Structure 1
Amino acid sequence: MSEANPPIVHALDPDRPDRHFVCPEPFDPAAEEVLPPARQREMMAGYWRLVWWKLRRHKLAVGSGVVLILLYLVVAFAEVLAPYPLGSRDTDHIYAPPQSVHLFHDGAFIGPYVYPLDYTLDMVRLKREYAPDTTRPQPLRFFCAGLPYRFWGLFEANVHLVCPPEGGTLFLLGTDRLGQDMASRLMHGTRVSMTVGLIGIAISFVIGVTLGGMAGYFGGWVDAVVQRMIEILRSLPELPLWMALSAAVPVTWSPIVVFFCITLILGLIDWPGLARAVRSKLLALREEDYVTAAQLIGARPARIIGRHLLPNFSSHLIASVTLSIPGMILGETALSFLGLGLRPPVTSWGVMLTEAQNIEAVVLYPWLMTPMLAVMVAVLAFNFLGDGLRDAADPYD
């Protein structure tokens, strides 16, 4: 104890002076420990700000988020980014190999350019042999007027980010058996494949949150019915079920209708996992005091679930949704690869991979497997981002 503030002695019993306690010295604000500014800012921050701060420290998740942003920029501007419009063919360059982009020619910098491809027909193996003509560099054109297209099918345009050289070609990922540019098809396929995941998970999210919320909040026979539905769907093998439902879609329907049917099928099958997670959370939260208070003032169950219960684990829902989208993408790719999903003229990663069913074509023209790399990148990016969101969902760890 300091001499300036001597301890204060209080007697507990006047008849027993030996029984007493010592009061600690008075509170001195100047002697109080001061927290570092970073710690003070963390204690004053809201929940979502803490989630964001923790997510930023997960470098792999942040990098995956950047990759996904770039993929969805391709979804939004596929026609502008693609050198060729969808459906464009060059019959003089069937199964052409990828062209490399160069900057220097004979030691001189001339900017991005490609060499034209010359081909000869090998009559022994019945194969086209392509060889670059290294004597004729052809500079690329940027922000140029190229072949016309309909932007999102709404209006005519012809502006491209990069165009083939005048009188030349630009096949960054080679061409397929019809002479279509693989890079352009891959960009257009990104729009379909990445959109299938978003629409499918939106359907799954609505069904899973609704049924899981009802089961967790009401319990009783409602919970029993929902649980039996989940168990029945979980007992069915997913791929054969997808194949059976997709095969039931008439081939005479338009590509847009088939697209929405495939997304509906994927969403209707994927909801049980999310519903079970929502149910388990609501079973624990419905006993909280604030739920009882909301019930006493007459709040309806839908309002209690939507305004009070679901926001308490919304970050976990976001992480679950992020981890479910890759399953949607893989489902569409598998169905289209087997010929039971989307069909030409619609272009998706799965539709492009149908040409890889011929092992001989894959051995001779390995660039046909490029869509598989796109699927891997998208799935890994979603998984890494979902892991980061799941770790950041509890920022008080």
Structure 2
Amino acid sequence: MNILKTITHNKLALASLVVLGVLYTMALFAPFFAPYHYDDDDVLTVYAPPSQIHLIDGNNRVSPPFVYRRNVSLNEYYQRVYVEDTMKSCPVKLFVRGSRYKLFGLFESDIHFFGAPGTKVFLCGADSRGRDIFSRILYGAQVSLSIGIVGALLSLGIGMVVGGIAGYAGGSVDNALMRLCEVIMCVPAFYLMLALRAAFPPYLRSLEVYLLIVVILSLIGWASIARIIRGLSLSLREREFVYAARASGLSHVAIITRHILPHTFSYVLAAFFLSIPGYIGAEAALSLLGLG
């Protein structure tokens, strides 16, 4: 409740939360919000520029949103030129029928959030195969945004376990685990990420690639988190409630999970949200190099 009160009283935080909510909602329901399937190509719309959505008709009157059909021609450099045909307008409508899809792999539908029956609407233009870039962005956001959350959660989980054990146990266990963390942190993260990805076959199914990237990012990111959790655990293990837990006969695992790690949640929560952009950027870098 305190977190919610803080967010609602901070306009910048509230605006950021709204933007994130919109982005994740559109990514989650990408097949519905995308006007076309991400792989729908068309040789007639290769490198088509973004569509201009008009609100003023030919008589200079305010009109519901519409787009003009576009004619394609080649200029003297044999480049495609798209020219609007102002005699052929197509209204932009909500909840139109289009290509069929399965939402979450379960619910089949052909209803899309918007579209222009009679022509194509490219909010961000089209690529070299005539595919809608906006639709591809939404489908790609499903991977990038979810990898950020899943990767951060897995890294935090590993880091909390390793750091909690190292800080509570101390001695040779602490020394061995921290040296392992230092070895991982000494290797440049980007090159380690490339090496781990290159160790696996280049041609994998989409789900296998997704899980592989999550594991790679998690294996790289947990070490720094473990060091912080270890430092917190070192101080927490000397607190009175930990001595009381030992005196009551609780096992070491119970003490770590019930009494030590819960007291690190304030740091863990901040680290979780701050690490998400880094995981998204790392996934984008792998994809840019053709390894994602």
| Cα displacement string for residues 133-187 of structure 1 (whole angstroms, at most 9, x for unaligned residues) | 2333210121122111222333431011112x22211111100000000111111
TM-score (norm 2): 0.95
SS of corresponding position for 1:239: helix
Name the aligned partner's letter for residue 157 of structure 1.
S
Between 298-307 and 331-340, report the one with greater CA deviation. 298-307
Query: Is 1:220 paired with 2:171?
Result: yes
The answer to whether residue 147 in structure 2 is matched with residue 206 in structure 1 is no
Q: Please, which of 34, 52, 62 is the counterpart of residue 100 of structure 1?
A: 52
Which letter maps to 2:206?
P
Q: How many residues align?
A: 291
Of the three residues 123, 137, 145, the one matched with 1:194 is: 145
Q: Does 1:156 align with 2:114?
A: no
The AA in structure 1 aligned to 2:32 is V
Residues of 2 paired with 1:313 and 1:261: CA distance? Answer: 28
Q: Which one of the candidate residues 5, 9, 16 is aligned to 1:64?
A: 16
Maintained 8 Å contact 2:202/2:291: no
User: Is residue 116 from structure 1 mapped to residue 69 from structure 2 by the alignment?
Assistant: yes
**Which residue of the partner structure matches residue 53 of structure 1?**
5
Task: Tell me the residue number matched to 2:83.
Answer: 131
Q: Which runs of 5+ in 1 are unaligned?
A: 1-48, 342-397
Greater Rg over alpha carbons, structure: 1
8 Å Cα contact 1:174-1:182 kept in structure 2: yes
SS in 2 for 1:134: strand
Shift of 1:306: 1.8
Q: Structure 1 residue 141 and structure 2 residue 93: aligned?
A: yes
1:196–1:263: 8 Å Cα contact kept in structure 2? yes
User: Secondary structure in 2 aligned to 1:92?
Assistant: helix
How far apart are the structure 1 equivalents of 2:133 and 2:283? 19
User: How far is 1:81 from its partner?
Assistant: 0.4
The residue number in structure 2 matching 1:46 is none
Distance 1:108 1:137 in 2: 14
Unmatched runs of 5 consecutive residues or more in structure 2: none
CA contact (8 A) 2:46 2:130 kept: yes
**2:262 partner SS:** helix
Shift of 1:77: 0.6
Matched, 1:288 2:242: no
Q: 1:195-274 residue pairs with structure 2 within 5 A?
A: 195-274=146-225
Q: Structure 1 residue 309: deviation in Å? A: 2.0
Structure-2 separation of matches of 1:255 and 1:244: 20
Match of 1:18 in 2: none
The one-letter amino acid of 2:111's match is: V
| Distance in structure 2 (CA, Å) of the matches to 1:53 and 1:302 | 34
Q: CA deviation at 1:265?
A: 0.5
User: Amino acid of the residue matched to residue 133 of structure 1?
Assistant: D
Post-superposition Cα deviations, 1:298-329, rounded to whole Å, max 9, x if no partner, equal 11222222222222231221110111111111
- For 2:74 and 2:204, locate their aligned partners in 1 and report how far apart those are by CA, in whole Å: 40
For 1:116, what is the secondary structure of its paired residue?
strand
Tell me the amino acid that sits aligned with residue 156 of structure 1.
E
Residues 189-233 of structure 1 deviation map (CA, whole Å, 9 limit, x = unaligned): 110111111221122111101000001111111110111011101
RMSD: 1.5
Q: Which residue of structure 2 lines up, in the alignment, with residue 316 of structure 1?
A: 267
1:31 equivalent in structure 2? none
Alpha-carbon distance in 2 for matches of 1:191, 1:148: 18
Separation in structure 1 between the aligned mates of residue 235 and residue 241 of structure 2, nearest angstrom = 13
1:125 CA displacement: 2.1
Work out the CA distance in 1 between the residues paired with 2:128 and 2:37: 17
| Letter in structure 1 aligned against 2:95 | F
Q: Tell whether 2:286 aligns with 1:335.
A: yes
Conserved 8 A contact 1:249-1:258: no
Q: Can you list the C-alpha shifts for 1:104-154, whole angstroms capped at 9, x where unaligned?
A: 2122232111122222112x3221011222333210121122111222333
**TM-score normalised according to structure 1 size:** 0.70
Greater displacement, 51-60 / 212-221: 51-60
